Amino acid sequence: MTDINYFLSEKKIFISKLIISGFRNHIDTNLDLSNGISIFIGKNGQGKSNLIEAIYMLAIAKSTRTSYEIELINNEISKKNGHVQISAIGKSDTKNIQAQIDFDVTTGKTNPDKSLILRKSLRVNGLVRKSPDFVGSINVVCFEVNNLEILTGPPSNRRKYIDILISQTDQDYIRTLQRYRNVIKQRNYLLKLIKEKKSSEKELSFWDERLIYEGANIFLSRKRIIQKLIEFLVPQHAILSGGDEIEIIYRPKISTKQQNINNLTREEIESLMMENLRKIKSLEIIQGISLLGPHRDDIEIKFNGELASSRASRGQSRIIVLSLKLSEASILKELTGYSPILALDDILSELDEEKRKIVLETTINYEQVFITSSDEFIFKNINLPKSKMYNIYEGKVTEKN
């Protein structure tokens, strides 16, 4: 198991107060929490996943379950043009941090269809913050059922996972991503104009330079974090799986050839990108989109020598993703100095009794852990010191005696 000395040397933080108001089916959830393990029991559809989603949003400023934030708002709140809040106080030996997300819902008076208008604000210790300055205020590592799509889904899922990990340790990376996405948007628009003979190829040079500069920044950040992830993942997965092999391979799309570019300098990377942009320019104009850059990267995850998406069972996939998440926690601890909070939604289903015990014993060393399950008997024969159990029913949370 993980060396206990690893945890004794770290700074620790936990959520002492959690307020969720008007968020999905949580109308008025107000919890006083302590460190240790908090177990939330409830049938499907009662609000367990919504609770975990809200906690994770306090770390990364957005939902990983939907891109449409209006879906986060409780229906009754929407009808009343109301207010939604997710707020937490993070406590440590040296500081307290209040992270808060607010949504104000109004009906657009000038909209013909009277569609809802959503205004979102982020605050840290009462001060309004933009996303790059909010993310990482309270670090949370979260397992959600849809995380299995890191393995089975398209490359964008794996890019998103890596980008969220980097963003919790490097606020500047969020700004880099924002600038890069704008570059791709503007460049794609220009490529379509050139395709339609409405603009000149000479206009591409500025956006090519921006793509290369920001793209190289993203490539270098992803390369560093993936190398660090491998360092923690291999031994972590061996513990949880009983010895199965795991491998991560970064496949950056900055070259038209799938060559090993991990050892290239920044100057060599930029030169390679420029060279290959020239080679594919005519094809990009024909298709009207940018075909080269980190927005097309992939990260291969191999299980016992084959792609995990095709080789691993559902139970094995859960162990792989949990190993990724625990490795992510180790990285956050190393790079930020604080042990992150763990939020594990339905992690124990589809695991046998032995694997469940290993997983739960692994979580004991963390300062604070949130676990959800539909079956409280899973925990019956496992000793979990400093643990509390709660019921969730129709969005209402009550502590069990």
The pLDDT value given to residue 143: 96
* pLDDT at residue 114 greater than cutoff 80: no
Distances, alpha carbon 95 to alpha carbons 61, 89, 117, in Å: 21, 10, 36
Residue of higher predicted confidence among 79 and 325: 325
Number of neighbours of residue 101 by Cβ within 10 angstroms: 22
Say whether 125 sits in a helix, a strand or coil: coil
Comparing CA positions, the residue from 267, 219, 246 lying closest to residue 322 is 246
* pLDDT at residue 113 greater than cutoff 60: no
C-alpha 348/C-alpha 360 separation (Å) is 9
28-87 residue pLDDT tens: 999 999 999 999 999 999 999 999 999 999 999 999 999 999 999 999 888 888 899 999
Mean pLDDT across the stretch 174-200? 97
Burial of 335 (0-12, 13-18, 19+ CB in 10 A): middle
Number of neighbours of residue 117 by Cβ within 10 angstroms: 14
Mean pLDDT across the stretch 91-96? 88
C-alpha 184/C-alpha 396 separation (Å) is 44
Describe the chain by its helix, strand, coil percentages, rounded to 5. 45, 25, 30
| CATH class belonging to 145-332 | mainly alpha
Say whether 253 sits in a helix, a strand or coil: coil
Cross-strand partners of 144: none
Half-sphere exposure of 310 (CA within 13 A, CB side): 4
By DSSP bridging, strand 96-107 and strand 140-143 are unpaired
274-290 residue pLDDT tens: 999 999 999 999 999 99
The pLDDT value given to residue 4: 44
Q: Which fold has domain 1-139+340-401?
A: Rossmann fold (3.40.50)
121-144 residue pLDDT tens: 999 999 999 999 999 999 999 999
The pLDDT value given to residue 350: 83
Q: Are 59 and 140 in contact (CB under 8 A)?
A: yes
H/E segment holding residue 55: helix 48-60
Distances, alpha carbon 347 to alpha carbons 164, 271, 366, 400, in Å: 20, 45, 16, 21
Residue 71: what are its φ and ψ, rounded to 5°?
A: -70, -15
Q: How confident is the model at residue 6 (pLDDT cuts 50, 70, 90)?
A: very low
Residue at token pair 């090993």: 260
Q: How confident is the model at residue 369 (pLDDT cuts 50, 70, 90)?
A: very high
- Where are the chain's structural domains? 1-139+340-401, 145-332
pTM over the 0.95 mark? no
Q: Are 390 and 397 in contact (CB under 8 A)?
A: yes
Using CA atoms of 162, 164, 166, 171 in order, give the dihedral in degrees to the nearest 10.
Answer: 160
Token pair belonging to 31: 């919890």
Token pair belonging to 95: 């500081």
Percent of the chain with pLDDT over 90: 80
* pLDDT at residue 226 greater than cutoff 50: yes
298-312 residue pLDDT tens: 999 999 999 999 999
The pLDDT value given to residue 383: 83
The overall average pLDDT reported for the chain is 92
* pLDDT at residue 342 greater than cutoff 60: yes
142-163 residue pLDDT tens: 999 899 999 999 999 999 999 9
